[in-house]
Chains A and B, each alone.
Chain A
């Protein structure tokens, strides 16, 4: 915009656009209004309060208030022994129980320095990847609802139901599993489990494509998300974003690849990163796209697990489970790639008791949400909904 000579006189600003249209703007600054979004607002995905200062439809600042679901996970850990903490981790991010348990078990196993049977590792990878798909389905489905698309939500939950049935068959519970134990798993998978999982994979592959057509390529959806809430890669790293959020900003970083654990080095899968053709790198659409593409990679991993898994002859899922967990004195920080990013556990053991001296959960949602204030500045109120949805928070994990 080219400024004319008489610009900035009092509260009137005159400028000329490129096509020679003279624009006269009066100082229209309205009174700022405080708008409280939540704790019971449907688009905050739980109980999160956003205190927004708004200038008309524009959000000038949004301050998140959390803690409504704070259940003192870390305080509980001080009085519960190591295996007893596993069920608590389920209740942090209740959509991905398997992944949470596994991350915690990796940390304790590092302290104990024990060898895990190979079949157990493959079972863990398989149930976690199934759980990852289930979690992404909820993320994508509810994101659609946030932006006014109701049908994809029903489709996602229909398919998620198959996964929950499979995991219920293996562990006995639908969401809070207590299946991955320190040193092993609670039970071996049922006899025909792999066959059923293969059936699910074959069933689900076309459904992913269907979901692309229904939601990802939907013009209304693209217009609501493309170019909204752009996060540059270096800022994302400085905010310690992880998982699909970080990859959405174009950083190819996946703990399964970059800090490999379990049997992931043997498995062949891609780390999807947006290339900027369909979406603007770092925007809400990129983050959604990464989740959608990751589901297909998870399907590939599951298929490889089925073919590579050692047989069940003479297999005892609890053979490496220690009778009494009392690690030597020391500290550990171990993490795993959860559907929402890096879930890390910092554990401090004094070597004398069967309870940890300190157990801290580094929650991926908590860290991802901390960028909300910067991300929301200058956005429209409806876009704020799109941004929160794209962060894919689970308040159970934010507040722990």
Chain B
């Protein structure tokens, strides 16, 4: 962040919310990235993600009760997969923030947040379907958009489509 730059009000609100989380979890979360389009922080110890999620939902100063979106991302250069969660407090506070959680690309897993926000259930299934990261503790981790017996994870950057599916030629 440049010195002396005045942040927009929305980013200031996110920064204030982040300060509460940082105080509780210390080095388990990264520094705050105060960009204007999507301010975020990263969870460095993925195992603590459910605790952080629950804390963010229930703390009286945070009340992030609404998970707007959860997107899977392939960080190919870093050999990692990750999720980006866009959270906000609906009807309680005006702040909103994004949280990133990453895991190794091969056989990586992220603890589920489906018990904190019900909506994460399907979003995580979609992320698993498209990227192949496991969500430990997920109540029902199956493919959701692709067929059950589809090979590979389509949104990985190195994805190669299978030659045939039930005798049907796939690449056209």
Contact = CB atoms under 8 A, between A and B. Distances in A.
Interface of A: 66-67, 70, 72, 74-75, 110-111, 234-235, 237-240, 251, 253, 330-333, 335, 342, 344, 346, 348, 358, 360, 362, 366-367, 370-371, 374, 399-400
B121 interface: yes
Given A344-B68, A358-B73, A370-B118, 14 more contacts: A67-B146, A235-B118, A238-B65, A238-B117, A238-B118, A239-B118, A240-B119, A253-B91, A332-B38, A333-B38, A346-B86, A358-B71, A367-B123, A371-B118
A245 B67 CA distance: 16
Contact of A342 (B68, B73, B91, B146): B68
B6 interface: no
Contacts of B37: 110-111, 330-332
A358 B38 CA distance: 15
A66 B118 contact: no
Given A67-B146, A70-B146, A344-B69, A333 B86 contact: yes
A374 B121 CA distance: 13
Closest 8 CB pairs of A and B: A240-B119, A362-B69, A360-B71, A332-B37, A370-B122, A67-B145, A70-B145, A346-B71
A70 B130 CA distance: 12
Contacts, number: 89
Most B Cβ at <10 Å: residue of A74, A332, A360? A360
A359 to B, nearest CB: 9
A366 B154 CA distance: 19
Given A366-B122, A370-B121, A360 B145 contact: no
Interface in B101-124: 117-119, 121-123
Interface in B29-81: 35, 37-38, 40, 65-69, 71-74
Given A238-B65, A238-B119, A333-B68, A344 B38 contact: no
Interface in B124-167: 126, 130, 143-147, 154-155
A298 to B, nearest CB: 23
Nearest to B130: A74
B16 interface: no
Nearest to A74: B155
Contact of B84 (A66, A67, A111, A331): A331
Nearest to A360: B71
Interface of B: 35, 37-38, 40, 65-69, 71-74, 84, 86, 90-91, 98, 117-119, 121-123, 126, 130, 143-147, 154-155
B69 to A, nearest CB: 4
A239 B86 contact: no
B42 to A, nearest CB: 12
Contacts of A74: 130, 155
B141 to A, nearest CB: 14
B66 A330 contact: no
Nearest to B72: A360
Nearest to A240: B119
A367 B126 CA distance: 11
A240 B119 CA distance: 6
Contacts of B90: 237, 251, 253
A331 B40 CA distance: 10
A367 B73 CA distance: 19
A367 B98 contact: no
Contact of A399 (B35, B119, B145): B145
Contacts of B147: 67
B128 to A, nearest CB: 13
Nearest to A252: B91
B73 A237 contact: no
Nearest to A346: B71
Contacts of B143: 67
24 contacts: A66-B144, A66-B145, A67-B147, A70-B146, A75-B154, A237-B90, A239-B119, A240-B68, A240-B119, A251-B91, A330-B37, A332-B38, A333-B68, A333-B69, A333-B84, A335-B68, A344-B69, A346-B71, A346-B84, A358-B73, A360-B69, A362-B68, A367-B119, A374-B118
Nearest to B35: A330
Contacts of A251: 90-91
B171 to A, nearest CB: 13
Nearest to A359: B71
Contacts of B68: 240, 333, 335, 342, 344, 362
Contact of B66 (A75, A110, A237): A237
A67 B119 CA distance: 18
A199 to B, nearest CB: 39
Contacts of B154: 72, 75
Contacts of B69: 333, 344, 346, 360, 362
A367 B69 CA distance: 9
A332 to B, nearest CB: 4
A355 to B, nearest CB: 12
